[in-house]
Structure 1
Amino acid sequence: MKFKRIIVIVMDSVGAGDAPDAAAFGDAGADTVGHIDARVPLRVPNLRRLGWGNIAHIHREPTEVIGSYGLMEEQSAGKDTTSGHWEFMGNIVETPFPTFPHAFPPDLLQAFTEKTGYGYIGNEIASGTEIIERLGPDHFRTGLPIIYTSADSVFQIAAHNDVIPLDELYRICEITRKEVCVGPYEVGRIIARPFIGTQGHFIRTGDRRDYSRLPKKKMVFSYLSESGRFVAGVGKIGDIYAHIGLTESYHTGDNPADMKALTEQLLAHRDREGLLMANFVDFDSQYGHRRNVEGYAACIEAFDNMLGHFLPLVQPDELLMITADHGNDPTWKGTDHTRERVPLVVYSPALTEAVDLGIRKTYADLGQTIMDNFSLGQLPSGTGFLSELR
């Protein structure tokens, strides 16, 4: 069976238990969904109907399963958004992106100053919400952007909209991407972090932008668009893939906006063949990194509620796949992502059996399934599961 449209939803950071190589990342025993459910029993009837109860470590509830389900393991040398998403589409990242456990070196920051025309404050490994509160007054006094990183391969630039206008912040980030973070400093992402408000009440806005490094391998998006099919990205999908191969992109600021845009685009493309892919970021950015278990649980439940309205819109000629790009166990030490297997559920009204898809040995199995559906050939990695669906 083949489908006219495929919809992929990525629940950013919603991992389902430590991967076989988790110990190498310091994450043996991490389990995002399992540890959340142990603290706050999750009410997720729609995800359960799709098979979550068979693959995630959550409390048992009698449920009729209408989706197929499995787990996927990452082969890329990282546990970040970029490496996970790229692997989905057939590009396994074999060399880790550079990270800066002791903050950025002087020569990198000198290049930043020379190329952008700005100095900086910060240069720390920090939580974004904490650093803008602490350095906000200096930011207003000096007019300088706040620079920081994390355990991920990121160069983050924060600025208040009243100090550095949004367009100027984006310009600084574009220069940093193209002229500063190059060569050995080519991080996975440059991230614009605009914020508003007053001291003690600073709020990061939904105008965040991610400037991804350019992939060196051809991925599924390009194969699809070159064949004349649409490839629509929702949320930060366009940023993650550097807009390569997308025919259209809809940037959004939070999960409800993601679902609204995803629904609108699903209905808008009913007469066309192609792929619609969305990243729902709130799980990770709002709750995972902040180690907020209760907030994370509420976010999953809110997503499940939205999913209950979305599932009836999926038609028999459409295939929905829901997964995650890495873990971010809010009960874990530190504030970093966690190396985990990720859940995979697959649904279409045309399918009549719930199939156990097992443990997939690479995220690229998802991309190869898309390739097989549209008869586009074989990726360098990945084994499709289209023929296993019933």
Structure 2
Amino acid sequence: MYRYKRVFLIVMDSLGIGAMPDSDKFGDFGVDTLGHIAEKMDSFTIPNLRRLGMANLKAMDKVDPVESPLAYYAPLREKSNGKDTMTGHWEMMGIETTKPFITFTEHGFPPELIKELEERTGRHIIGNKAASGTEILDELGEEEIEKGHLIVYTSADSVLQICGNEETMGLENLYHYCEIARELTMKDEWRVGRVIARPYVGKKKGQFVRTSNRHDYALEPTGKTVLNSLKDAGFDVISVGKINDIFVGQGITESNRSKSSVHGMEQTIEIAKRDFCGLCFVNLVDFDALWGHRRNPIGYGQEIERFDVKLGQLLPVLREDDLLIITADHGNDPTYTGTDHTREKVPFLAYSKKHKGSGPLPEEDTFAVIGATIADNFSLAMPEHTIGHSILDSLR
């Protein structure tokens, strides 16, 4: 019934590999997340990605291609209108997003939304601007704790973020306020892709630390995805990281929350030691959240190196009938202006111990080849109104 009993799909969040043909329409010129990171690194040690074929797919400084890569590889273009987390992940599983999510980067959220949120939460809102999460805590954390206010802010993404001190506000209260915000931002004029709870600890400026109890309240996918097809057919759909949040639990049979990208890989390795049949879908967010948005190419490069170490531990655990796919959901060039995601192609690396071949595949015009290939592997039809075509027959 299937060629691969288990598929491991790992998303290196924001690891773009160069500008899309339409990147300029999104204000992105000459962007290249992986290429520019490699240029900035004094050395770049990624032996496992290299032997899979990453340097064959994407030319980069300090990392030479290999003569016989282990994986099949191709660049993927995004068909959807956007460059954000949800758009990229949804497209992987078959949904084309034609209307981009609203952002409030320039002026913050409208007074009408803030007023209603204040009335519903019973707290005065401070912030209401685009900011770095660490910077806004240093600026307003003490005020929030002392006066019982509520820090609300956004970013270059379509998000409404709410900070809450775990010790003085409490996690449950923070989550409740985010649920209220999610309800309010379902209106078309306020419709953001995600409301994010940003808990932290500490009492004074310079001591605030965000915790791993972040929780995303995303919009539900606009239709059925490949995940729904897998679950409905009785296959396992195991999520690691924020995958469960991105799909609002739809099509997920088991959810694992990660404390970091390294932890996410450790969870994936442990899952690979178990027996299951279906998909393990992994998002590793630190590349994007800690380094891309903060425009830190060295930190980003070092995070890739840490991932590569864990990849070297995962590969021997994979079984003969496993398929490993490594990809990304958008770009976030840490050398570019601003703090926004960048519209880029993403890598597609596909490896299995049973493959007799490897090497380049044609560039594809949608991320949805990933979901379509997984559905084809398990002999499932793509859900109605989804996009994508299978390249399963190319993986031999």
Tell me if TM exceeds 0.5: yes
Counterparts in 2 of 1:160-309, with a 5 A limit? 160-197=165-202, 198-268=204-274, 270=275, 272-309=276-313
Identify unmatched segments of 5+ residues in structure 1. Answer: none
Matched AA of 2:345: R
1:54 to 50, 53, 56: 56
Matched AA of 2:59: H
Aligned to 2:149: 144
Aligned to 1:36: 37
Report the Cα distance in structure 1 between the residues aligned to 2:165 and 2:59, rounded to whole angstroms: 41
Give the CA deviation at 1:181. 4.1
Give yes or no for the alignment of 1:25 onto 2:26: yes
Aligned to 1:79: 83
Q: Which runs of 4+ in 1 moved over 4 A?
A: none
- % identical equivalent positions: 46
Report the Cα distance in structure 1 between the residues aligned to 2:360 and 2:139, rounded to whole angstroms: 49
Measured against aligned partners, the alpha-carbon deviations of 1:345-389 in whole angstroms (never above 9, x if no partner) come to: 000100021131221100101010011101111353112111001
Matched AA of 2:167: D
Matched AA of 1:11: M
Report the Cα distance in structure 2 between the residues aligned to 1:175 and 1:265, rounded to whole angstroms: 35
Cα RMSD, aligned residues only: 1.3
SS at match of 2:273: helix
Q: Is the 8 A contact 1:73 1:342 kept in 2?
A: yes
Which is further off, 280-289 or 195-204?
195-204
TM-score w.r.t. the length of structure 1 is 0.97
Which is further off, 15-24 or 135-144?
135-144
Q: Is the 8 A contact 1:146 1:157 kept in 2?
A: yes
TM-score w.r.t. the length of structure 2 is 0.95
Q: Is the 8 A contact 1:42 1:58 kept in 2?
A: no
Give the CA deviation at 1:267. 2.0
SS at match of 1:359: coil
Aligned length, in residue pairs: 388
Q: Is the 8 A contact 1:115 1:179 kept in 2?
A: no
1:86 to 1:62, Cα distance in 2 relative to 1, 3 A: closer
Give the CA deviation at 1:42. 1.9
SS at match of 2:157: coil
1:312 to 313, 316, 328: 316
Give the CA deviation at 1:77. 1.3
Measured against aligned partners, the alpha-carbon deviations of 1:211-242 in whole angstroms (never above 9, x if no partner) come to: 10111210011000000111010001100110
Identify unmatched segments of 5+ residues in structure 2. Answer: none
SS at match of 1:187: coil
Q: Is the 8 A contact 1:289 1:335 kept in 2?
A: yes
SS at match of 1:287: helix
Matched AA of 1:320: L
Which is further off, 109-118 or 333-342?
109-118
Report the Cα distance in structure 2 between the residues aligned to 1:172 and 1:241, rounded to whole angstroms: 21
SS at match of 1:24: helix
Give the CA deviation at 1:180. 4.3
Report the Cα distance in structure 1 between the residues aligned to 2:130 and 2:258, rounded to whole angstroms: 26
